[in-house]
Amino acid sequence: MAKKKHTAKRSTKAGKRRPSTKRVAAKGKGGAFQGLPPSASQQELSPAVQSTQGVIEPLPAAVSNAPLEGRTDARLQGVSSMRADAIVIPAPVPITPTVYPDSPQGTITVQNHITINIQSAEFSRFDKNLEALIGELLGSNEISGEARDQLVCELWAGREIIGAPKPQRDLIDLLLVRPLKWLIENSGSAMVSKLAGDALVRLIKMLH
């Protein structure tokens, strides 16, 4: 009788054992990925949510059989691609402000300034050349309104700076040399490019 009770007790414990959980494999060309089958609560979820609950879905056959080069996961095809245009930003140029005197009769101090004879024939030719260039820009449709207006304002500002008693070389480079170089290469107008080139040649002669 004692032996029978022991056997019955062992059979009762065996009946309470949890069933073994089988693993499922999602096979692809690159190998098998082990994962657990979805639970009852996960089966009620949508496939998109189930993919975040530990269930690994196999790739479509068309994707898994595709060559590695140029392969794209089909689940990522719905994501729109983003494109960023590269814009090269020039390095900042330090500009030292003018040091004005303590009294109205004192002299000013301008770092890296140059001396230009505004009464010379070369300056007169440059001035007329620049005025013709600005007039051509104002009547041209090759450059957008914003870029055209910015160029015109910078060229006029450079013209005023170069006529000062002590014009700073860095300001001349920023307000005259760089805009003129840009117009020579990117204006889209033969007349604008020629006028900008002539003005730059005359400006370089005065700077040296």
Give the start-to-end residue ranges of the domains of the chain.
Answer: 33-61, 121-207
The whole-model pTM stands at 0.58
Burial class (CB in 10 A: 0-12, 13-18, 19+), 72: exposed
Q: Which residue has the tokens 């002590």?
A: 166
Mean pLDDT of all residues in 131-151: 93
**Rounded CA separation 95/103 (Å):** 24
Lowest mean pLDDT among 27-31, 91-95, 98-102, 188-192: 27-31
Question: What are the Cα distances from residue 40, in Å, to 44, 47, 50, 57?
Answer: 7, 13, 11, 17
pLDDT band at 88 (very low <50, low <70, confident <90, very high): confident
User: What does the angle CA 205 – CA 110 – CA 93 come to, to the nearest 5 degrees?
Assistant: 75
Asked if the model's pLDDT at residue 189 lies above 60, the reply is: yes
Check pLDDT > 90 for residue 150.
yes
Sorted by sequence, the CB contacts under 8 Å of residue 142 that are 6+ apart come out as 187, 188, 189, 192
**3 state SS of 41:** helix
Which pLDDT belongs to residue 42?
53
User: What is the predicted pLDDT for the residue at 84?
Assistant: 47
Nearest to 163 by CA among 108, 201, 115: 115
158 closest CA partner among 206, 107, 109: 206
- At residue 82, the pLDDT reads 45
* Mean pLDDT for the chain overall: 76
